[in-house]
Structure 1
Amino acid sequence: MANHTIAKDLNTALRWATEAVRFDKRGQDYGAAMDAYAKSVSLLGDILEVLECERSAGRLNKTRDNELNKLARIHDSYRDRMLVLSLTFGFEMPPELEKLMTTPTWR
């Protein structure tokens, strides 16, 4: 994934996250919040996989490595919020994100 693709996907993921937080804070449509969080977490996960590969290959500089850690925390916080919404309101976790509940976080 080229850097411009990572940047584009990151912008998209953050737009979905902003939407999710907006729905979540209103408290009126937790289903829409869950959907938006799922889209954001999925894209962030894809980005993190690419960056982890770059890290493993020794191609990440210090700044990029710090970005990876920050993205991992963002990813994990939205994933955790999805879990809370799932448990509180009975929403099902998207199948592609279900595995995130049982695997270690990015770090």
Structure 2
Amino acid sequence: MTPGKIAAQCGHATLACYKALVKKNPQLIRHWEVTGQAKIALKASSEEEILELEAVAKSLNLCARSIQDAGRTQVEAGSRTVLGIGPAPVDLINQVTGRLRLL
């Protein structure tokens, strides 16, 4: 994916996580908003790894949303392109993503 496509997909993941938590845990969302709305972009090696990371995140009760592309531009329809996790405490997220490299 081009950098622009990656940015758009990350935006989709951020919104998906936000929408999932805004009603479920508004206190967590408020804390995230007043502490700078941290977003870290890391690299997964494959679609399979995205699914594995999502499963681990969900097993830790973290909000995790993988994004499936519509397939109109650069990737095939239904391809999982990115995974959003959080907002959540850093130590919990690091249990899922701590070994990944920055994008």
TM-score normalised to structure 1 length: 0.28
TM-score normalised to structure 2 length: 0.28
More helix by share: 1
Q: Larger relative CO (CA 8 A, sep 6+): 1 or 2? A: 2
More strand by share: 2
